[in-house]
Amino acid sequence: MKSYSLYIGIMSGTSLDGIDLVLVDCSEPSPQLVHSLLYPFPTELKAELSALAQPTDNEIERMGPAELQLAQCYAAGVSLLLRQADLNASDIQAIGCHGQTIRHRPTGPYPFSYQIGNMHQLAAETGIRVIADFRRKDMAYGGQGAPLVPAFHQAAFAKSGSNRAVVNIGGIANISVLKADGTVLGFDTGPGNCLMDDWVQLHRQQAYDDNGAMAAAGTLQPELLQKMLQDPYFSQPAPKSTGREYFHLPWLQQQLTGEVSAVDVQRTLCRLSAQSIADCIKPYQVSDVYVCGGGVHHPVLMHDLQQLLAPAQVESTNAVGIAADWVEAIAFAWLAWAYDQNQPGNIPEVTGARKACVLGIEYRP
């Protein structure tokens, strides 16, 4: 009889499109998705979390209530996930929760990364152990605390003798290059959906560019594209990581000079995401590129990636049996499992840390 080892993964990313919750069987040989759920943010909380991602007034007084409300949303999502899967809290080994990043400053004399979520509250409300705060141990050893998914990508997607890449396109895009010799490289390439989301919200009052319709209506502006690609982040060597506190609407507005239509800007932002991703992958001569995250549903972005990365094959992670919408959440369930196995969750070559570390802190109910 099969023995199950069930973990819940919770991921709420920079796109703020909702809370991803997954139930994962982490029994060997590889993690398997059992059930998944997208839990919506209350409108006011989403707006507050977005505001907290930028320097603002009275941040600590505002962060405290937001953190508690976020934990309550996480707990409500866990309760619904368990009901839908017909399971109890006692069936779950632990929750791996990323938390909501409100600031990521990985460089400078005092680097830090801050994810909120009140994990004590989450453990108390669910009655399940929570493993969280995955980034700061890596940073204590000189790493950037990001990206953390490459270790999971290696476990789930690597194939001996083949150079592969995994691209996660959320608000920010990150890549993992899984080399044929077993080594792994990875870093944040820059904006994924975040600038496109901000632009369509500004001009059409939509949370995202549904089916890439706004981008498809526009014409690529090469001069604007080249101007944006001159930002120092794109030429910065790895290890590197970034966030919405860097690539945001004011950043975009500083790039705009002269008259460019809103749809043309959107088309160019789409190519910026694709170009910055492709430029980072092409030197490694990969044969297959697997894409996950919200960007996989943007047909113009996917077309651009295929065009820029040819002859490599670009397709969704669905092609190898891992649902593209849930890869990051599965990764944090896996990181909780790795914590329980005393297995390192970072890759020093990716983050720049001085050593591999077991990541996370345990919060008991």
In DSSP notation, 215-237 reads HHTS---HHHHHHHHTSHHHHPP
Q: Calculate mean pLDDT across residues 314-329.
A: 95
Contacts of 242 (CB under 8 A, 6+ apart): 104, 172, 188, 190, 233
Within-domain flag for 257 = yes
- Does the pLDDT value for residue 14 go beyond 80? no
Identify whether residues 218 and 337 lie together within a single domain: no
Identify whether residues 136 and 230 lie together within a single domain: no
Within-domain flag for 91 = yes
Contacts of 61 (CB under 8 A, 6+ apart): none
For residue 3, what pLDDT is reported? 58
Identify whether residues 278 and 359 lie together within a single domain: no
- Does the pLDDT value for residue 2 go beyond 60? no
Is 18 annotated as contributing to ligand binding?
yes
Within-domain flag for 194 = yes
Query: How many CB atoms neighbour CB 365 within 10 A?
Result: 13
Is 190 annotated as contributing to ligand binding?
no
- Domain count within the chain: 2
Identify whether residues 142 and 238 lie together within a single domain: no
For the chain, give the percent of residues with pLDDT over 90. Answer: 92
CB 162 within 8 Å of CB 180: yes
Identify whether residues 100 and 220 lie together within a single domain: no
Within-domain flag for 199 = yes
Q: At 54, which CATH number?
A: 3.30.420.40
Q: How far apart are CA 7 and CA 312, in angstroms?
A: 34
Q: Calculate mean pLDDT across residues 18-47.
A: 93
Stronger pLDDT, 286 or 1, i.e. the higher one = 286
Within-domain flag for 1 = no
Is 50 annotated as contributing to ligand binding?
no
Identify whether residues 163 and 95 lie together within a single domain: no
Identify whether residues 113 and 176 lie together within a single domain: no
Q: How far apart are CA 64 and CA 295, in angstroms?
A: 31
For residue 330, what pLDDT is reported? 97
From 303, 320, 337, the end of a domain falls on 320
Within-domain flag for 204 = yes
Closest listed residue to residue 351, CA positions, set 144, 154, 189:
144
User: What tens digit of pLDDT does each residue of 56-103 get?
Assistant: 889 999 999 999 999 999 999 999 999 999 999 999 999 999 999 999
Is 17 annotated as contributing to ligand binding?
yes
User: What tens digit of pLDDT does each residue of 226-238 get?
Assistant: 999 999 999 999 9
Q: How far apart are CA 73 and CA 70, in angstroms?
A: 5
Is 13 annotated as contributing to ligand binding?
yes
State which residues form the domain around 35.
6-146+326-363
Identify whether residues 161 and 243 lie together within a single domain: yes
Written as one string, the DSSP assignment of 86-98 is T--GGG-SEEEE-
User: What tens digit of pLDDT does each residue of 168-217 get?
Assistant: 999 999 999 999 999 999 999 999 999 999 999 999 999 999 999 999 99
Query: How many CB atoms neighbour CB 233 within 10 A?
Result: 16
- Does the pLDDT value for residue 1 go beyond 80? no
The verdict on pTM exceeding 0.85 is: yes
CA atoms within 13 A on the CB side of 12: 27
Query: In which residue are the tokens 């809103």 written?
Result: 262
Identify whether residues 204 and 216 lie together within a single domain: yes
User: What tens digit of pLDDT does each residue of 245-270 get?
Assistant: 899 999 999 999 888 999 999 999 99
Within-domain flag for 288 = yes
Within-domain flag for 206 = yes
For residue 17, what pLDDT is reported? 85
Is 181 annotated as contributing to ligand binding?
no
Identify whether residues 187 and 293 lie together within a single domain: yes
- Does the pLDDT value for residue 339 go beyond 60? yes
Identify whether residues 141 and 161 lie together within a single domain: no
Identify whether residues 102 and 166 lie together within a single domain: no
User: What tens digit of pLDDT does each residue of 291-301 get?
Assistant: 999 999 999 99
Q: How far apart are CA 289 and CA 270, in angstroms?
A: 18
For residue 29, what pLDDT is reported? 75
User: What tens digit of pLDDT does each residue of 106-137 get?
Assistant: 999 999 999 999 999 999 999 999 999 999 99
Query: How many CB atoms neighbour CB 320 within 10 A?
Result: 14
